[in-house]
């Protein structure tokens, strides 16, 4: 390609980024990560409802691959683009937190398969709260370019979902502590701890986005 042609391509790229093109691509990749985490939450919910655990574990590996691919593409994009909706470091942190949500869900499904008790119904409500939190996080990410106010509202809702998960864990532990101490009790406690770790990562993702938006407003 001639030098003028390369120059035109370069100018077109700069214009695309300055007019918001790169921001849209970043948002879509973060949304893809959240979609993978949501798929993982659905699988975990199906396991809690009594679906085939080994099959869910195999499907979770596929979902994790999708999430990893979206994260890898996002990291590569951040190295190339000139303009991002929020600070690059904050985007990387947000992406990592969403990846951690999916990793913890993978571990939950694996542990439920390996040593989980027969009845996993105790996990249904925390997983529903997680799904609602991921919906709110996606809403926040969708608006981080054009509507900071909507981001703030959705981030608060995400944090409330995380709080709900913690409260549900406390309630379930309270119920466990009234039961005889046996292996099923210990298994439930371990899985509740894993779900709490999922909730912590969700809260960290909300914090990462809130910090980024505050920084952008200054």
Is 162 in contact with 206 (CB distance < 8 Å)? yes
Listed residue (71, 52, 184) closest to 109, CA to CA: 52
Confidence bin at 6 (pLDDT 50/70/90): low
> Which pLDDT value is given to residue 21?
61
Query: Does the CA dihedral 196-168-98-33 come out positive or negative?
Result: positive
Lowest average pLDDT, out of 2-11, 83-92, 204-213, goes to 2-11
Return the higher-pLDDT residue of 74 and 17: 74
Degrees, nearest 5: CA angle 123-159-79:
105
Rounded to whole angstroms, how far apart are CA atoms 25 and 80? 12
- pLDDT at residue 28 in the model: 96
Rounded mean pLDDT, 103-131: 95
What is d(CA 107, CA 17) in angstroms, rounded to the nearest whole number?
38
Residue 31 has pLDDT above 80, yes or no: yes
Return the closest-CA partner of residue 104 out of 200, 206, 209. 200
Summarize the confidence of residues 113-124 as an average pLDDT.
Answer: 92
* pLDDT of residue 63 exceeding 60: yes
How far does the chain reach from its first CA to its final CA, in angstroms? 42
What tokens appear for 149 in the block?
A: 């106010």
d(CA 85, CA 25): 10
pLDDT in tens, 149-171: 999 999 999 999 999 999 999 99
pLDDT at 3: 59
Model pLDDT, residue 150: 94
Q: Higher confidence at residue 209 or residue 181?
A: 209
Q: Which tokens in the block code for residue 70?
A: 């979206």
Q: What is the average pLDDT value for the chain, to the nearest integer? A: 90
Whole-model pTM: value is: 0.88
pLDDT at 18: 39
Q: Which segment of 15-24, 41-50, 55-64, 202-211 scores lowest on mean pLDDT?
A: 15-24
Longest dimension (CA), the chain: 79
CB 29 within 8 A of CB 77: yes
The structure tokens listed for 81 are 């683009």
Q: All domains of the chain, ordered by start, with CATH?
A: 16-217 (1.20.58.220)
What percent of the chain shows pLDDT beyond 90? Answer: 77
Q: Does residue 46 or residue 6 have the better pLDDT?
A: 46
Q: What is the DSSP string of 130-170?
A: HHHHHHHHHHHHHTTTT-HHHHHHHHHHHHHHHHHHHHHHH
pLDDT at 201 over 80: yes
Position 81 scores a pLDDT of: 85
């Amino acid at each position: 390609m001639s030098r003028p042609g390369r120059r035109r391509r370069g100018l077109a790229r700069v214009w695309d980024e300055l007019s918001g093109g790169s921001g849209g691509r970043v948002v879509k990749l973060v949304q893809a990560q959240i979609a993978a985490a949501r798929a993982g939450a659905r699988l975990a919910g199906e396991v809690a409802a009594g679906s085939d655990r080994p099959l869910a574990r195999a499907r979770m590996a596929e979902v994790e691959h999708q999430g990893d691919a979206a994260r890898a593409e996002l990291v590569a994009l951040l190295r190339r683009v000139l303009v991002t909706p929020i600070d690059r470091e904050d985007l990387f942190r947000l992406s990592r937190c969403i990846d951690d949500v999916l990793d913890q869900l993978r571990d939950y499904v694996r542990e439920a398969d390996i040593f989980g008790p027969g009845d996993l119904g105790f996990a249904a409500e925390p997983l529903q709260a997680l799904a609602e939190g991921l919906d709110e996080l996606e809403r926040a990410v969708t608006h981080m370019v054009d509507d900071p106010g909507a981001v703030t509202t959705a981030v608060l809702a995400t944090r409330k979902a995380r709080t709900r998960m913690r409260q549900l864990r406390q309630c379930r532990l309270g119920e466990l502590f009234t039961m005889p101490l046996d292996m099923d009790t210990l298994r439930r406690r371990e899985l509740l701890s894993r779900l709490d770790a999922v909730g912590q990562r969700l809260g960290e993702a909300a914090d990462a986005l809130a910090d980024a938006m505050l920084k952008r407003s200054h």
